[in-house]
Structure 1
């Protein structure tokens, strides 16, 4: 005999909300549709999903919107299909941490940005109800943008605390918004008065001390690949971000610096130990399929973009200063310069293979040892875009195994102290330490450098970190990282402009 266990089955939707599928809700929908403020609804409803975990409201909301905007994730979901699912949105923070602690407004914005969306976040203390209503009307009348709201359920007389959901439309005469609640196991889609919704957004998230709010999400017109992202996957990310955005400006202001090398020493000589992990690179990860080592045209295209970004970094004057500083540090100390062991192909391959395993196979290992049998191959050597392929085997529970491939551009430079060598050929996995530190400097808020006392030096630094002279791909990467850092630091209440 089957036994049923006790649990919760839905909630009664309390007023002032009106259930979307009720006779009154249908009437409101029909009127709003006639008035042209439901155009965004049809895309959203086509990809509407229920959050797969009680804490995944932000991830599910983002998945719905990213799919509705037809943004290609550039990586597989299951089988051969590329598709956004809340289980894939872990580039900023591990899923198990979100599962236990939820996710903040700034990190949802950061996730949207690193997955190919344009994000305009508005906390309630930086906006007002009239601006919110106008933006809601604009997005509801279009298929090109959507509104995500972060709100407290209590002002809507609902059970629970903070929540994220997309808005599906607007009724002007009744001044009501349609919440497509991603917690469909609890409440169905429902209409709410905009004044009530604004009051629910105009609340404080106790985890950050910052106001909730809303964000406008649209498709970002950029190259179909990114190389760098800010990572919150390690516990020390907050102290690193604080060091870079608050401590570094104060240190630069307090010391009498004479040249660029001294500036770099201030930034890199005594940072938190997790600095090297704060900006990480996005690798191509795929399942091994019947030992196939060929690359699809899409994979080749994305890897070519990554290679172009790397070359653009290395062509900057700032990169040359970073190399000079790293070379000088290697000979006299064991600070950040001695991260060469972590640049070993097999070690980095195992780590990236393990991170990709969660997305591809469901393996969730924090030990970094879920990938074994690491093998390194070089593909298309001698061609325009050679590739390093790191293959590993992932144990997925029990005794089942899955092969995983990691693809990165192959270094084509002459051997140097910044790359590993084999028989006179550079075999280093890139981005290297020098690449990452260079792009980190580019991504820091502009106010970071304003306190340098020596005017000539201050002007020189400004000329090195300006995005105006960067080639388009690198400029996009830098602005992307600045946006991410801004979203994360506003969660901490820090200045990031």
Structure 2
């Protein structure tokens, strides 16, 4: 019985030249000699085929983010943090992307939320000379990559709107190498840069905006080293709306006279699932990796995480939040849950979560529980970190893992005594809540009528008063919140300048 289907397409040549053809190989070798294929090596190392016909934008972006070695700050599968199309669900639900694709503006939004540095240009706001300059710059470096949004029809290819990264440039022939993520359809191919510009200079019928290109590079340091906003769950829409729209109105309507009342107004009104919105990023290493010595990279990440955590706990706002949450009348407040922070990685990290998320242990003997076991681990002979051993349950397979978190001052490094009678405690989330409040826009507090209190709040939440590491962490969270809000309002394609500001 015959089965209907499509097996690839014949690449229209001209205008394109197949990368694997003799002419394509010649262009490739000449470009290597001219130094305009440096970006190719990392891209080809992470080259992927889009898993859905409409996932060209998501595949292009995940490929570039992995090539830039940007940490997603969230799990892919098992204990691994890795960009995949399924991870890029912040600015548009995956089901919508699967059905209709994604717009240029929302792909820019996704790149920002993922922690990349992004410059985006529509063709009506740029010109071919600038485009050529950026293609040459990124082709001669592995620190930046260009993703092009173009109409296939201009290249005599089937289909309409498409995204793909540019893998290299041949200066003599003025040709760009398109690493087409729809490899089931067309192979990588060279095209005249002028023709690619014409293909980009089309209006997207959905947004009524011109297509264009984006320059994606790695920030000078990873943002979101300790915290990140998560929009994997639908709750982010309500929480983002509450934080950006409702909190300022609440503070205007309430007659607040002191910091305690301000915190009461905000915290007691938080949606019950706000803990799904902001996550802390722990480190995980598999037991079968062998040994208990951390690599220099692991050690560096943990040291920075520890410093960020210490800086959060040293802020005046943290002290107010901790005092407020320690009040007996606040015990029933919604907690910043950690249950989904490492789901399936360490079964239940209640002891580690209670200490780490709560900042400092309120019990001198520490926390422990049946599901986990906390032990000491030296960082190459230096300071100890907390090691939480757990079990990955994946079908019939169980694999041991270690969850590593920095040791906070005043907190015990070891809390195991072999007893099975310890009670798992859920964290208060003092430091997580502090980071979330610090990330709110400065205008959030403008409705407070008491000028003295307004000044006090300003001093507590001012980004300028924060140490550099924490300042960058908070600004990243604030950018994420801003972008998510614009996505929620469907405004990202209207004004890219506002998105990138």
1:92 and 1:107 in contact (8 A); partners too: no
Q: Does 1:484 align with 2:480?
A: yes
2:204 alignment counterpart: 203
Q: How does 1:23-38 map to 2 (within 5 A)?
A: 26=24, 29=27, 33=31, 38=36
Q: Using the alignment, how far apart are the partners of 2:96 and 2:287 within structure 1?
A: 29
Q: Secondary structure of 2:371's partner?
A: strand
1:61 and 1:182 in contact (8 A); partners too: yes
2:230 and 2:276 in contact (8 A); partners too: yes
Assess, with a 3 A threshold, how the Cα gap between structure 1 residues 45 and 121 changes in structure 2: closer, same or farther: closer
Q: Using the alignment, how far apart are the partners of 1:289 and 1:32 within structure 2?
A: 45
2:16 and 2:155 in contact (8 A); partners too: no
1:408 and 1:430 in contact (8 A); partners too: no
Q: How does 1:54-453 map to 2 (within 5 A)?
A: 54=52, 56-69=55-68, 86=84, 89=87, 100=98, 112=111, 118-122=116-120, 124=122, 127-129=125-127, 131-151=130-150, 153=152, 158-160=157-159, 163-170=162-169, 177-190=176-189, 191=191, 193-200=195-202, 202-203=203-204, 213-222=212-221, 226-289=225-288, 295-328=294-327, 330-331=328-329, 334-336=332-334, 339=335, 342=337, 353=346, 374-380=371-377, 384-395=383-394, 397=395, 399-413=396-410, 432-453=428-449
**How far does the alpha carbon of each residue in 1:51-84 deviate from its partner, in whole angstroms, 9 at most, with x for none?**
251255345424443454466889999999x995
Q: Using the alignment, how far apart are the partners of 2:204 and 2:271 within structure 1?
A: 33
2:348 and 2:371 in contact (8 A); partners too: no
Assess, with a 3 A threshold, how the Cα gap between structure 1 residues 107 and 310 changes in structure 2: closer, same or farther: farther
**Greater displacement, 28-37 / 280-289:** 28-37
Q: Using the alignment, how far apart are the partners of 2:156 and 2:429 within structure 1?
A: 52
Assess, with a 3 A threshold, how the Cα gap between structure 1 residues 483 and 421 changes in structure 2: closer, same or farther: farther
TM-score (norm 2): 0.72
Q: Using the alignment, how far apart are the partners of 1:234 and 1:242 within structure 2?
A: 14
Report the alpha carbon displacement of residue 269 of structure 1 after superposing the two structures with TM: 2.7
**How far does the alpha carbon of each residue in 1:319-364 deviate from its partner, in whole angstroms, 9 at most, with x for none?**
1122233234x5057332xx27x46xx89765654799xxxxxxxx
Q: Using the alignment, how far apart are the partners of 2:440 and 2:274 within structure 1?
A: 13
Q: Secondary structure of 1:440's partner?
A: helix
2:40 alignment counterpart: 42
Report the alpha carbon displacement of residue 226 of structure 1 after superposing the two structures with TM: 1.3
Q: Using the alignment, how far apart are the partners of 1:308 and 1:119 within structure 2?
A: 23
Q: How much is the aligned-residue C-alpha RMSD, in angstroms?
A: 4.9
TM-score (norm 1): 0.73
**How far does the alpha carbon of each residue in 1:220-248 deviate from its partner, in whole angstroms, 9 at most, with x for none?**
33269811111111112122222222333
**How far does the alpha carbon of each residue in 1:125-178 deviate from its partner, in whole angstroms, 9 at most, with x for none?**
994345545433433344432112345656656445654321124567887643
1:37 and 1:169 in contact (8 A); partners too: no
2:56 and 2:182 in contact (8 A); partners too: yes
Aligned match of 1:459 in 455, 458, 476? 455
Q: Using the alignment, how far apart are the partners of 1:16 and 1:465 within structure 2?
A: 59
Report the alpha carbon displacement of residue 203 of structure 1 after superposing the two structures with TM: 2.4
Assess, with a 3 A threshold, how the Cα gap between structure 1 residues 43 and 429 changes in structure 2: closer, same or farther: farther
2:200 and 2:211 in contact (8 A); partners too: no
2:148 and 2:214 in contact (8 A); partners too: yes
Assess, with a 3 A threshold, how the Cα gap between structure 1 residues 83 and 319 changes in structure 2: closer, same or farther: closer
Report the alpha carbon displacement of residue 250 of structure 1 after superposing the two structures with TM: 3.8
Q: Using the alignment, how far apart are the partners of 2:283 and 2:171 within structure 1?
A: 46
**How far does the alpha carbon of each residue in 1:260-305 deviate from its partner, in whole angstroms, 9 at most, with x for none?**
3333334333233332211111121233318865544543432232
1:368 alignment counterpart: none
1:225 and 1:306 in contact (8 A); partners too: no
Q: Secondary structure of 1:229's partner?
A: strand
Q: Using the alignment, how far apart are the partners of 2:485 and 2:147 within structure 1?
A: 20
Assess, with a 3 A threshold, how the Cα gap between structure 1 residues 449 and 73 changes in structure 2: closer, same or farther: closer
Report the alpha carbon displacement of residue 476 of structure 1 after superposing the two structures with TM: 2.4
**Greater displacement, 403-412 / 435-444:** 403-412
Q: Using the alignment, how far apart are the partners of 1:185 and 1:321 within structure 2?
A: 57
Q: Using the alignment, how far apart are the partners of 1:217 and 1:36 within structure 2?
A: 23
Q: Using the alignment, how far apart are the partners of 2:123 and 2:450 within structure 1?
A: 37
Q: Secondary structure of 2:201's partner?
A: helix
**Structure 1: 5+ residue stretches without partners:** 357-372
Q: Using the alignment, how far apart are the partners of 1:176 and 1:290 within structure 2?
A: 45
Q: Secondary structure of 1:234's partner?
A: coil
Report the alpha carbon displacement of residue 18 of structure 1 after superposing the two structures with TM: 1.4
2:363 alignment counterpart: none
Q: Secondary structure of 2:332's partner?
A: coil
Matched positions, count: 461
Q: Using the alignment, how far apart are the partners of 2:223 and 2:272 within structure 1?
A: 32
Q: Using the alignment, how far apart are the partners of 1:215 and 1:299 within structure 2?
A: 31
Q: Using the alignment, how far apart are the partners of 1:467 and 1:327 within structure 2?
A: 26
